[in-house]
Structure 1
């Protein structure tokens, strides 16, 4: 039996000043991809000398393989938690969790982690290479993982009342977003509501509950206010989850609107009257596509927030009558924050192409499904996450190809970000419908199929993106039609 021998080498990643974001993808010359995490030190060193991976100002750096060992999920998109005074990251596809220091998981599998050393303001990766390998492994490139929401420039919409800088609000995963409360600002003369990008959203005070925030955002008509408040809300809730004073949920204390309002300046039409996008061969067609997608993302923000507050008092149909755990609220609020990011990216791209959101008519067809499923969380998850969002996984690659064929690579980059996030959103729906059904002793696939027949008009038609659906947990049992043997064949038909 031969034993592979390894030599540890130190790879210079760059200056500490170059690693100020929450995550980076590290590409090495041997083809390996790693994720570098920058996280607040949980228990900063009590001595004057920080740990080797810790900075003087209280940040710790960790590295692990970029692909989940279970099914290859992108760990750069993972969710960060603290368990037993250690950071744990969860794969966005199937929620497999891994300790960022040891690589160990609660489900028995393990991923590779790599020590990080900080010396003289330089970040080094400790990396094992097999003895006898060809040459040294070196750094190929570093890619920051950015989820920064493209908020409108506040300099155009506010005058500082105070001279001190705005406080940075860091999202739980990525870029710092400048935020200043309304007390620190005053509006420019002549600014109002509607689609005005430069008016100031109203922030709730420190006593506001989760459901207070949710209803406030649902009742916010201005799209720019909605995405800013959603981003702040997710950041605030995620930060408080790791502190001794978590945010009160306020279950059942407030009522969500039957339908979130939209600015009066938006032209609303019936879904069948919306502009036809065409094939993307010209600028007008591509703008129409992007505008339609932006409208969908705006409603998707409301859908992800609405499910939290509308079903906040839900209890399982069991003797124990379990309520939804706090992780449910975090997961769907993360979806809402992603949708806010998506809207901001699409709105920015529309403006780069010489248009704007609101230049074309919009419809509220997606909210009709929310109204149809307002009585049952199982139906809501089935139709919104596992029908509508899953259908997005099917059509997104074809849409992206249209933009690629037109040479619009900037839009391609935006749409690819959105598509990758949408896989995790379907995963979230799959995870929580499965959880509810497991508590109630029900078959999640059967519950899904029954809700499709009751609440979705038409058929779940292909072609299906089987690869990405499988990543999200939806194999053919969920959407394939069954033959006499019970095996899936083509599609689920709604009654």
Structure 2
């Protein structure tokens, strides 16, 4: 049967989740046409539309969060959990399993979906939800003039078209203004991704620039982690503001961590095989950085809606201390930042969300749920690239992880663990159960 998904003007983002009345969920992709001269039924005005099942047929991973690449003149979506890849038009993959895809036909100004239904079964469209992917920027420059008014100190400074990824990374790391940092981060991910599909991909610039020892911060009262005021349990407005402020500080450092892992380790080579990091590595971490920018913007916006602002309370730099501790080894950096700190976020996020839900703060709950969902994919990214390194080097990623935790993480990995979310991200119990209470040497 043919289902009208709505007018073209209603589709402005890259992906949407379609909910059917049967409970089935699909992902609708809106992607730039690879060949603008073609005239396929699913294409119009330079855009191509595709629909596929929302759950990866391998292990149920969320295809709404898939990574999109172009291979052999076709779009391929890679599951964020285990990187299984699927042609978005045919559903075929390189691993032998196939995803269900659904033909799209653009008729006039409407997007029409062909959905199979048994005779006599009434199937309808329940709702269409855009997948959250945009930050809430305050004073972003007009998109059509990204280099305008460079002399205006109130605007972020953009680099020219010849800048490498590492040039951009160091520029972002050295940007103290948080609004400029999130603007530049999302811009870098957008242009890097756009140029990956062109004939002139962005140069990486391996080894041409040096990352700063510590990114600067603007007008922030910094204290030691132990001197931070208690946030409370979320029962009062003051307590909820303190909790969101602490989370916003974490997200701001998380931007720098994802950017830093691109430039600091750009010249990394695996032992024995001497493999360089592939371009997909940089794309994945720029996606993480862009997500973290979105998260900061959601929390900053919510703080202002609640009558406060980011910078109103003290902050600490403990996350960057872990970055400095692991600056010499990519395996250690991924282990501690992505698979300890980020994974710990998966453990505590549901409890934090419940505190806000019990307080009736639905707006904060919505933002925190977006953050939790994204952070599962961030742990997946860490797991993917530690596994890639270990596969190249003939080592066991679990043992490499556990060894680095013993060296660089002070104290035990304490539960309770969100086993379901960790498993979604690729971390089974071997990674975190029965870890000895080891304190790293200072």
TM-score normalised by length of structure 2: 0.97
Query: Distance in 1 between the 2:365 and 2:31 partners?
Result: 31
Kept in 2, the 8 Å contact 1:182–1:201? The answer is: no
Residue matched to 2:148: 183
Query: Distance in 2 between the 1:454 and 1:51 partners?
Result: 56
Kept in 1, the 8 Å contact 2:132–2:370? The answer is: no
Q: Determine whether 1:478 maps to 2:422.
A: no
| Equivalent in 46, 49, 62 of residue 58 of structure 1 | 46
Per-residue deviation at 1:107? 1.1
Per-residue deviation at 1:80? 0.6
| Equivalent in 71, 77, 89 of residue 83 of structure 1 | 71
Q: Determine whether 1:315 maps to 2:269.
A: yes
Query: Distance in 2 between the 1:440 and 1:74 partners?
Result: 30
> What do residues 342-364 of structure 1 show as CA deviations (whole Å, max 9, x unaligned)?
00000000000000000000110
What are the equivalent positions in structure 2 for 1:26-425 lying under 5 Å apart? Answer: 26-46=18-38, 50-55=39-44, 57-131=45-119, 133=120, 135-154=121-140, 166-167=142-143, 180-184=145-149, 187=152, 199-263=154-218, 265-318=219-272, 320-425=273-378
> What do residues 34-82 of structure 1 show as CA deviations (whole Å, max 9, x unaligned)?
1111111111344xxx221111x11111000111111211111111100
Residue matched to 1:494: 438
> What do residues 384-434 of structure 1 show as CA deviations (whole Å, max 9, x unaligned)?
000000000000000000000000010000000000000000000000011
Q: Does the residue aligned with 2:117 lie in a helix, a strand or coil?
A: strand
Structure with higher Rg: it is: 1
Kept in 1, the 8 Å contact 2:214–2:320? The answer is: yes
> What do residues 304-324 of structure 1 show as CA deviations (whole Å, max 9, x unaligned)?
111111111111111x31111
Query: Distance in 2 between the 1:181 and 1:101 partners?
Result: 34
Gapped runs of 5+ residues in structure 2? none
| Equivalent in 16, 25, 38 of residue 24 of structure 1 | 16
Per-residue deviation at 1:209? 0.7
Query: Distance in 2 between the 1:217 and 1:494 partners?
Result: 35
Query: Distance in 2 between the 1:455 and 1:21 partners?
Result: 41
Per-residue deviation at 1:130? 2.1
Per-residue deviation at 1:143? 1.1
Per-residue deviation at 1:494? 2.5
> What do residues 256-277 of structure 1 show as CA deviations (whole Å, max 9, x unaligned)?
00000001x2111111111211
Query: Distance in 2 between the 1:399 and 1:144 partners?
Result: 25
Q: Alignment length, in residue pairs?
A: 439
Residue matched to 2:2: 10
Kept in 2, the 8 Å contact 1:182–1:200? The answer is: no
Q: Does the residue aligned with 1:388 lie in a helix, a strand or coil?
A: helix
Q: Does the residue aligned with 1:142 lie in a helix, a strand or coil?
A: strand
Kept in 2, the 8 Å contact 1:64–1:113? The answer is: yes
Deviating above 6 A after TM superposition, structure 1's stretches of 4 or more consecutive aligned residues are none
> Could you tell which deviates more after superposition, 73-82 or 468-477?
73-82
What is the alpha-carbon root mean square deviation over aligned residues?
Answer: 1.3
Kept in 2, the 8 Å contact 1:449–1:492? The answer is: no
Query: Distance in 2 between the 1:291 and 1:139 partners?
Result: 39
